[in-house]
Structure 1
Amino acid sequence: MLKFDKEKLNDFAKKADIKFAVLFGSRAVERVADESDFDIAVSLKDGKSVFDDLGKYSEMLENFAKIFSANEDKIDLTDLNNANILLRYEITKNGVLLFGDPQDYEELKSFSFRDYVDAKPLFDLEDKIIKKRLSFIKENLAV
């Protein structure tokens, strides 16, 4: 299991007005390789994007790197407030809540699942169209 200073994370998250911090990707499901980064989805309390303020974004990278004893280039931040339906579903499906109210996070997970289920037919159609185009390209343009 991932080891980190929970108290340091809580102090930083409160100071930075973070509503949720969620670990997702390979480290969340414990399929870690040496080169694995730390995929962290962040939701700010004010609803703004983590990318709106470059100084705040840089501060987040620096603090998460210290919390997880990693280099800053191993921290990959994602804006949970503005994530598309598919990404938000993937984050909440297997993500590990690092900071935030667990009940509020369960509501977000439920909302994300409902959005995904509603949009799934469109994702399936898109997948079908892409496969059809690839098949056409292979048949007609292959060397």
Structure 2
Amino acid sequence: MEHSFLAQVSEVLKKEGVLFAYLFGSQASGKTGKLSDIDIAVYFKEDLTPGERFDKKLKIMARLSLLLKRDDIDVVVLNDSYLLMEHRIIKEGKVIFSVDEKKRLDYEVRAVMRYLDFKPYLEKHTKEILYG
């Protein structure tokens, strides 16, 4: 990722009160093509309501679209995300912004622990679907 891209994104995230953010998907893996979008996962302070987080997500998407002159920016709110998405983002994504490293590391540890607790059930369920 270009430094100017990260600086622009960081400024928007900071203004909207994001604690930390990841770039994930094809942009993070470096496997981009003509149709590649920009996937960003953000984590907000816990005292925001789901509605407030949703409003901030829309503002981030709009501001980044204007700033980067693209309309293919997707933002995932980690506070409201599901377990498998969180795990994928932590595992494959790249941290692009953080104002609270302790909070980010605590979040990652909790998310990975929840995933590992759930993984045996997921594997069992997957086998049942595949093999009956």
Band of TM-score, shorter chain: 0.7 to 0.9
Find runs of 4+ consecutive structure 1 residues off by over 6 angstroms.
none
Structure 1 8/26 Cα, relative in aligned 2: closer, same or farther at 3 Å? closer
Query: 2:40 matched to 1:40?
Result: yes
CA 1:87–1:23 in structure 2 vs 1: closer, same or farther (change >3 Å)? Answer: same
TM-score (normalised: structure 2): 0.82
Q: What's the TM-score, normalizing by structure 1?
A: 0.77
Q: Distance in 2 between matches of 1:48 and 1:29?
A: 32
Uncovered stretches (5+) of structure 1, i.e. residues with no partner:
134-143
8 A contact 1:93–1:109 mirrored in 2: no
Which amino acid counterpart does residue 97 of structure 1 have in structure 2? V
CA–CA distance in 1 between the matches of 2:5 and 2:24? Answer: 18
1:12 is displaced (CA, Å) by 2.0
The match for 1:116 is: 115
Verify the 8 A CA contact 1:23 1:41 in the aligned structure 2. Answer: yes
Query: Could you tell me how far apart the structure 2 residues matched to 1:38 and 1:96 are?
Result: 13
Match of residue 136 from structure 1? none
Aligned-pair CA distance for 1:116: 1.0
Aligned to 2:103: 104
Helix, strand or coil at the partner of 1:60:
helix
Larger relative contact order (Cα-Cα within 8 Å, sequence gap ≥ 6) = 2
C-alpha distance after superposition, 1:26-60 (max 9, x if no partner): 11111111111111111112344432x3xx33321
Cross-structure match for 2:74: 76
Q: Alpha-carbon deviation of 1:24?
A: 0.8
Q: How many residues are aligned here?
A: 127
Find the counterpart in structure 1 of residue 18 from structure 2.
Answer: 18
The aligned residue for residue 127 of structure 2 is 128
Instruction: Give the AA of the match of 2:40.
Output: I
**What is the match of residue 65 of structure 1?**
65
Residue 23 of structure 2 contacts residue 95 of structure 2 at CA under 8 Å; is this kept in 1?
Answer: yes
Q: 1:5 to 1:25 in 2, by over 3 A?
A: closer
Question: AA paired with 1:58?
Answer: L
Q: Percent identity?
A: 28
